[in-house]
Structure 1
């Protein structure tokens, strides 16, 4: 029987070690580990977490007498030791280096930031060092979800100026709700859209959606200057969206966009990114640095989660 494998993610390696031991016992084996950096521009507002691949023995298999304990022999401590040895060999293939790099050194921290532990092979080598490679940094971006459109679903889109309103209108048209499904909140008050800036108004909008059989697309505008970001981000979180999007103008300065998007993400979970203004810039790919999957692009579904 083949061993069982699965992935876990968490805020630190120590937390993941404790979770694996508590949930799966000492025979669980961490065979791969990776530090994942999401978003940010030049390290600003970047978010980090760790991902590990766990291997369990086949169901029904018992450890033979004298067989080494998998957790003790190939746990995360052993994996890190072998990572040090791998780095030493990479820097000194002839074996002339006198000592391995300490795990407390800046060089080791840099190594752990860039190592990718591959688990694509069918059979796991006996020595986890064989799993280690040092490729170019890889950005993991999952496919973005489609906008929710069920009766009474609440989709909130946050952006500067009228960007969020334009996206909400295009989303509502795409799912057949039209103008009936659009609401507005924040610092833009359009004459032709019903405002829904508090829980009571949002509840009334949801009720209308349930009765009419359509979803609600709420455009929350941060205004032009994106001031009082913390207060607005808290208000957005309090409205309890079923799905939360942010919309970025590809022509705006990346640092400015990263600042307000980071404030929203600090207050609530953002599901996807909408992008407007592709034709106004020669470098729309700067929005990729936000680390969010692109699901809506200039008024319609995006063909890919990143811009190329």
Structure 2
């Protein structure tokens, strides 16, 4: 009887290594989800990954042989039965040693290796992260929640020789079965195409004969990496406090010192007019130009948080400050709950050049795929790098039961 497991951890690759080491190559991934909690304004949230795995029972030849109970005969019969159990256990151990030797040989046409390669391909289809060596031991960070399936009793009374194993936390769980299919049927592909279009995925990404989630994610353009050379300038545009929050997080990810972040633009805060100037915030093109003159001599890159106010004159000020920055790279922070046409118009009103966008609120919208229609590569999803794994989690959350993994 197949056993269903729910594994969780901070790394999807480490979870797969745990599956390989603990449950063998026959395990099959049926669902992968990203779970996020906490955070402020869409940033600084904690995340972990959960995967659901089906583990088939071991083949009959690998199971410990059973010793028939002796219904009568007294002490001599019990001793004879014990001798028979010792012989059976030795045979099982010898068979296991032969199987282990075959596994160490690493034959290319070995069925176990091919089976586990299929499991790894399910993860590679949705992640850009390298997977660890499947021969490594399971990492301690992975924690398994296992649904225990009781053994089925045979017709005759038996005394089973148990197989020792490491203890695990045992919690019964139930999930709907999601059967992966290597080649989706035309009807299933049509249903998935309609479901992805409903959550905002652009038609250009769905223009193919067979629509699969991995195929759609493979065509999502990656965002260019921010510059890391000393003296380079990266400007982060955003409304209200978004630019300041994203710039601080970006500097932390790049491991920059606190003085590498400069503030510019309109005062922050919703309804911020009349709040006065923020100390250290550059509010004129002349101030920015004076700072930019000495910026190349720094031994680190710069991150400029440029706040854009709501009024037309605020956007005009932002344009002049951005020009004075002479930026090497430009990011914009957008709210995914804003209509795509409005987001495009806001970007055009500030600058014709944006290298990447940081999306906030993407997991709170029913149409996360609409962020792919802005026309600018997405660098972050709610403060998390927009890797294929992050996109897979966001789209799967919006699709719900309609998600079909290939």
Shorter chain as denominator, the TM-score bin is 0.3 to 0.5
TM-score (norm 1): 0.47
Higher relative contact order (CA 8 A, sep 6+): 2
Task: Work out which of the two has the higher radius of gyration on C-alpha atoms and give 1 or 2.
Answer: 2
